[in-house]
Structure 1
Amino acid sequence: MKITNKKRCNMNEELVKDKIETHERRLNNHGERIDKLEQDGRELKTELKNLCENLKNLTSMMKWFITAMGGALISFFFYAVQTGIFNK
């Protein structure tokens, strides 16, 4: 049984159409995935910016805390010298 050229052409056309549809679906899928990655990238960038700002604030507070503790230690030293705690 020979397959005629017309049938062979129809089969090739169907195969080509199927391949085109498959590639079109893949391209659409990849486009959606790229959009999602871009959106995630923007969200991560915003979160990272907020995290850096919080870190700056925390560093500033730690500097003030260390300064206050140092001042308290110096104040205690002067208090101890004035009351004679170290002389006993």
Structure 2
Amino acid sequence: MKNTLNQFFDLFLPRYCIGCSKKLAYDEELICPRCLNAILKADTELIEAEYNRKFRNERIIEGFSSLYIFERDKTFQNIVHSIK
């Protein structure tokens, strides 16, 4: 029933991926599998090394975490800007 209802609504209000603007399949929500796989997951050691490289002497941040890596002109940037 839910699938039939989604198909009906997609006739009038089609859903598009917020990463690439491709039309979503009925079972997909917000982000297509291709964009989801393109998002780089953050490696804790890599994030800490980048922080140390940029802010070695300042230590203005005591603790932090990141699930994804934000890169200019990449899928995750499109997703973040679509949500804003």
* Shorter-normalised TM range: under 0.3
Which has the higher relative contact order, 1 or 2, with Cα contacts under 8 A spaced 6 or more apart?
Answer: 2
In the superposition, the TM-score normalised over structure 1's length comes to: 0.22
Q: Which structure has the bigger radius of gyration?
A: 1
Q: TM-score, normalised by structure 2?
A: 0.23
